[in-house]
């Protein structure tokens, strides 16, 4: 329930702020509007000190140790980022807004999601072959208790 509520709030904000709007995304990439830069900048500037405080405290509200796994750098970090950027520009939505746009009733977003799932599935299929050349981490098959 917590995650459904947080997701709903997040989705509403993305929808109303232009972060899930094709025109605002293109205006951002064309440097014609500062709206999206303002949103991302503010989010980072507010999250950063909040994160710092949480890490200093070291525990969640329930007292459990904070688990923040830092992302590793691989060649895939840059290559993947570049590919993602091309796709983001084309579709006018990044992953979160894809789901928001579907909720809003934008039918074409379903095609973007279908493409994204196909792309993720494709990566899963070719991952073993990309592992060494792109210095990707090994696959650890698990029971789902992580």
Applying the rule CB under 8 A, the residues between 80 and 109 that interact with another protein are: 80-92, 94-96, 98-109
Pick the binder of another protein from 58, 62, 129, 132 (CB under 8 A): 62
Q: Does 119 bind another protein (CB under 8 A)?
A: yes
Helix (H), strand (E) at residue 146: none
3-state secondary structure 16-43: HHCCCCHHHHHHHHCCCCCHHHHHHHHH
Residues 22-51 that bind another protein (CB under 8 A): 22-24, 26-27, 29-31, 33-36, 38-48, 50-51
Contacts of residue 13, defined as CB under 8 A and 6 or more positions apart, other chains included, come to 19
Q: Does 9 bind another protein (CB under 8 A)?
A: yes
Name which of 71 and 132 has its Cβ closer to another protein: 71
């Amino acid at each position: 329930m917590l995650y459904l509520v947080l997701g709903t709030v997040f989705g509403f904000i993305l929808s109303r702020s232009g972060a899930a709007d094709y025109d605002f995304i293109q205006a951002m990439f064309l440097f014609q509007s500062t709206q999206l830069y303002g949103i991302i900048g503010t989010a980072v500037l507010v999250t950063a000190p909040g994160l710092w405080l949480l890490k200093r405290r070291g525990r969640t509200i329930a007292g459990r140790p904070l688990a923040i796994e830092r992302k590793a750098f691989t060649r895939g970090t840059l290559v993947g980022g570049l590919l993602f950027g091309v796709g983001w520009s084309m579709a006018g939505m990044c992953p979160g807004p894809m789901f928001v746009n579907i909720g809003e009733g934008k039918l074409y977003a379903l095609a973007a999601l279908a493409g994204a799932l196909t792309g993720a599935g494709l990566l899963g299929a070719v991952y073993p072959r990309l592992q060494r050349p792109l210095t990707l981490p090994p696959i650890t098959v698990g029971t789902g208790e992580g």
